[in-house]
Structure 1
């Protein structure tokens, strides 16, 4: 009789959830990237649960804040692994991805980054996957625009030292492409915590460039552009993809008008899946998803699709590689045998307080 009761209890117990993690910077002055990413992951999980989860199992998202600090990130990764997650979406920066990847390699758990593009993680047989292309695959587009359409010949590059894995990768690829066309990188400057942005702006303009390209977060990029514009209203200014959130426009105001901004998202896409995503995201969170929300939404769906398709005895890494092509909100996401993605980027310019596509 007791055994029968126990069997009845077990039969009525809810199924064990599928647990996935999110790891990104959710606090601090540049948390817009992590918050957008977390919200994109939340939306993907909620929509999948509305469809019944995976094989009747609900999906549980466990979010951790890496605070863009190496030691904090390692401890957050340990907590996620201790919870038995099947995959982790994140981190949102290349620097943090390099920090925590060894833990996931040891555990055999995939780390699927929405936005980490450093070349240092390219073509490796590891647990790292991404849904955007490494910098070597897309920075040429920015360099070509500045040289051919913008008429820029002498440029200063400004790199954020707090995410060197990304900013130096982007800068090196830009330099190679730009100088290959006949342009000249006349100086390289750096942003670090505690720097005087006024002094940095003066230093950047001292070499009399006709272009400045800033490879930093949205907050410091906006504030630095304000300082540059106070001193020079004509020099052409552009940014890498990292700065391309709504925070850049909110903080930059009139100073960022006309700035060329590289994007991981085609903001004028009419793809039905993207329009449905936009509506759902805006309704759920009451703000724009930008590129962090979109790429994290895609990364989460990549993880969930691979978990759903995994066959008996197959690891999730094997399932991800076997699947290869995944549906993205804007376009298919093709992941190669090393977990690297092929995906386009887009150029926009800020006009009337909005990102406007250039092509």
Structure 2
């Protein structure tokens, strides 16, 4: 039966490839690949394999009817599973390109993407295989999210390391400055039509469950930021932010609206706010500018008061993370290792760990 699964997957790959070549505007879904694989394997098992015990005794018409119903149910489940696997694949591709844009090497980005994809697949299906594997996957995902190097985490780490420099005395390399935006090509925000130097606009679909709890699914993210100038008490410098990934932390939403099962949120860069900015200072046309470039591939800003609050709360977050990790390890040990408590003595049976469940 496995050979028919691979034949179905091969047909799915062929159809996916042909559709992608024929129409670039129409969205092409990767779910067709595992879906056809499951469909081919199930069809062979139900209709063509006479050696299985799936066929009950009775008239051929009854047998065929039962087989058709079983095949339809399998296709329904296959459709859901295939969509889920395809979503994981699309997220993996997006994650790979994002890591590339952040300056990660191709090999490291590939290993990271494979690891997180396998972890997501394990979380999705390991509960039906082994509960210990599911719990281990959950713990690994938790640790991965803590250890994952995102641009936001790198920004907060570097602001702790770097000293705030005066614009007049900037050195070449990764720098941190503090000042206000004083010049640049202004934009009009999408919400509120307010003048700004850049905006980040989000749209979400809003759904409500039976308990009245709302959940939000992002459907659109539009970032439009032009080059601008930052000024402190020692001078000014141009920030080349147009068409660059820009980290924005701690900025309060300029507008946050919700109606007709839609949510609209927007952040803007204003002239009257004091920002802490980190980026790479380099000479371009005999002038020092700050931009997003190698080797750090980091350009971001945050209100100065947000950074102060984050630094004050950092020890509490670190201690809470350590406590949670220890608690998860203890819970996993209790679930995975057989033990017996008798006459005040706790005995752990490490040799029987694999057969405890």
Query: TM-score by structure 1 length?
Result: 0.21
Which protein has the larger Cα radius of gyration, Structure 1 or Structure 2?
2
- Larger relative contact order, structure 1 or 2 (CA cutoff 8 Å, min sep 6): 1
